[in-house]
Amino acid sequence: MTETIFAPATAAGRAAVAVVRLSGPGTADAVRALAGRLPAARRASLRSLRDGQGREIDRALVLWMPGPASYTGEDSAEFHVHGGPAVVASLLAALAGLGLRLAEPGEFTRRAFEHGKLDLAQAEGVADLIEAETEQQRKQALAQLEGRLSDVQARWREGLTEALAYFEAAVDFPDEELPADVAARAAPVLQRLAAELEAAIADAERGERVREGFRIALVGAPNAGKSTLLNALVGREAAIVTATPGTTRDVIEVPLVLAGYKVLLADTAGLRDTEEEIEAEGVRRARAWAESADLRLWLVDGSATELPGLPDEVGEGDLCLITKRDLATGPAGVWAAEVARRMDIPSAEVTAKGPSDMAWLQRTLGELVVAALAGAEPPAATRLRHRELLEEAAERVRRAMGEGSELELAAEDVRLAARALDRITGRIDPDHVLGRIFATFCIGK
Ligand SMILES: Nc1nc2c(ncn2[C@@H]2O[C@H](COP(=O)(O)OP(=O)(O)O)[C@@H](O)[C@H]2O)c(=O)[nH]1
Ligand SMILES: [Mg+2]
């Protein structure tokens, strides 16, 4: 039998109000035990809550939401109590005393999924909405919760069903009076599907970046001014600045918000050959981070007399910043401007000591992020999980198109494409896969 679960739905700590929620068949009995008779459905009622010994816990708003018209689809309830830690602890103890169980992370949403209230992609939207820190993350998560991915998935799924019907008809009734070209009718359907899947895969990267953060790496020789620039941009001392080259050894990732997008700005070890073991590892990590970043800012100390060399990672679409503009320009500054011109990447002279330079840089970076991530509508796919399944489906569709007269093989490929798409909405995923996904949710959701 289904257990009845409970959990705080609000964060731990002191707050005006804390919400504790319940779900499962024992909800009505639990509400009666704590709050007296059951309140009218979906109406807030002020009640005195009492534990098993009749001692008062708190005065609370009680919401009774009978299934199936509830978030989980089961009988459920909420207690809105005063948000003190002792109040919440006392209420949780009373619920445990009634034989109810504390919910696992994501268990309420998992139950909603199991009762068909939302599919797996929408459930991921719920988790993303809770995690959203920026405006664009919020919009994308809400679109996913409202079924943006689920809707296109359903349309592709229909296309596959149609193509499969043509193949199966041709296989099952070869000698009947079927039009000769029935299998050929699948071709345009599959072609359209392949194109749409490809487009969604190309767009998935954008969704992942919005969700996880657009990655900008600061690269350049030791002493170029990377750590100083990072601190000036984020407005706090996130990285250590010294006049000693080789101070920064690990990659320091600092989150910031630019134009409503989450951005990860990384300060890295200065790129140079070194015998020192720890610094060498830092340089290796710096290179790896820079290579996989979405944008690199190549910093060159413009006042230096020695030329620093051009990092391999820097290329098209990146930006060259000639630093320490407040000092006299040296040979390195002249050289860097020329290298940038020849590589056809923009360069600018800046100083971390000038607030207007930093404001300009913030604006410029914001524009680059918008150019990379903004689109007419939010991307459908937003996670690696989605992209991998779309790639599998696209591959199967391409194979089906290439099978020629081998109709059974083509039909099987279409079935496998459909299975990959079904996994996006979690329709056929086994228990342990679902368990892994819901385990990343927070408690009480
Ligand atoms: N005058 C001046 N000095 C700077 C500027 N940016 C950094 N520096 C100095 O250059 C040295 C190296 O800076 P740091 O940020 O540690 O360089 P990193 O090794 O690239 O991280 C420090 O002494 C900084 O104070 C700048 O815009 N103007
Ligand atoms: Mg540094």
Whole-structure pTM value: 0.86
- 127's CB contacts (< 8 A; 6+ apart) are 106, 109, 440, 441, 442, 445
Q: Counting ligands in written order, which one lies closest to the CA of residue 231?
A: 1
Has residue 1 got a pLDDT over 80? no
The least confident of 164-178, 243-257, 339-353, 386-400 is 164-178
In CATH terms, the fold of domain 5-115 is Gyrase A; domain 2 (3.30.1360)
Residue 176, pLDDT score: 62
Q: What is the DSSP string of 254-291?
A: EEEEETTEEEEEEE-------S-HHHHHHHHHHHHHHH
The C-alpha atoms of residue 70 and residue 76 are separated, in whole angstroms, by 7
Three-class SS of residue 4? coil
29-48 pLDDT per residue, tens:
999 999 999 999 999 999 99
Question: Whole-angstrom Cα distance, residue 45 to residue 32?
Answer: 13
Least confident range from 173-177, 210-214, 241-245: namely 173-177
On whether the CB atoms of residues 318 and 345 are closer than 8 A, the answer is: yes
Segments making up each domain of the chain, as ranges: 5-115, 124-205+381-426, 213-351
Does the beta carbon of 268 sit less than 6 angstroms from any atom of ligand 1?
Answer: no
Rounded to 5 degrees, what are φ and ψ at 92? Answer: -65, -40
User: How far apart, in whole angstroms, are the C-alpha atoms of residue 90 and residue 85?
Assistant: 9
Confidence of residue 282 (pLDDT cuts 50, 70, 90): confident
Judge if the beta carbon of residue 337 lies within 6 A of ligand 1.
no
The number of helices, as runs of H, and strands, as runs of E, in the chain is 14, 12
Question: What is the pLDDT at residue 402?
Answer: 86
Residue 231 CA to ligand 2 center (angstroms) comes to 10
- Interval 348-375: pLDDT, tens: 999 999 899 999 999 999 999 999 999 8
- Residue of the CA atom closest to atom 7 of ligand 1: 225
Q: What is the pLDDT of residues 132-175, one digit of tens each?
A: 999 999 999 999 999 999 999 999 999 999 999 888 888 777 66
- Among residues 312, 214, 199, the alpha carbon closest in space to that of 263 is found at 214
Confidence at residue 297, expressed as pLDDT on a 0 to 100 scale: 97
Tokens of 53: 């010994």
Distance CA 102, CA 288 (A): 42
Instruction: Compute the distance between CA of residue 380 and CA of residue 157 in angstroms, rounded to an integer.
Output: 15
DSSP-derived secondary structure letter, 81:
E
Contact 226, 298 (CB under 8 A): no
CA distance 148 to 144: 5
CA–CA dist 284, 276 (Å, integer): 12
For residues 320-339, give the mean pLDDT.
Answer: 96
Enumerate residues 6+ apart whose C-beta is below 8 A from 247: 222, 227, 240, 241
- What separation in Å is there between the alpha carbon of 249 and the centre of ligand 2? 8
Contact at 8 Å (CB) between 313 and 290? yes
90 lines ligand 1 (CB under 6 A): no
Is CATH 2.60.40.290 the right assignment for the domain spanning 213-351? Answer: no
Q: Which residues pair with 420 in a beta bridge?
A: none
Round to whole Å and give the CA distance between 247 and 240: 7
Q: What is the per-residue pLDDT for 87?
A: 97
**Tally of CB atoms within 10 A around 5:** 24
Atom of ligand 1 nearest to the CA of 323: 27
Structure tokens at 367: 């524009």
CATH superfamily ID and name for 124-205+381-426: tRNA modification GTPase MnmE domain 2 (1.20.120.430)
Name the residue of 223, 228, 361 whose CB sits within 8 Å of the most ligand 1 atoms, as the mutation to test its pocket. Answer: 228
Q: Which residues contact 413 (CB under 8 A, 6 or more apart)?
A: 396, 397, 399, 400, 403
Can you state the angle between helices 431-438 and 107-114, rounded to 10 degrees? Answer: 140
> Which protein residue's CA is at the shortest distance from atom 9 of ligand 1?
225
Instruction: Locate 346 and state its tokens.
Output: 């923009």
Residue 248 Cα to ligand 2 midpoint, Å, equals 4
Query: Mutation test of ligand 1: which of 218, 223, 321 has the most ligand atoms closer than 8 Å to its C-beta?
Result: 223
Distance 247 CA to ligand 2 centre (A): 6
> Is any atom of ligand 1 closer than 6 Å to the C-beta of 333?
no
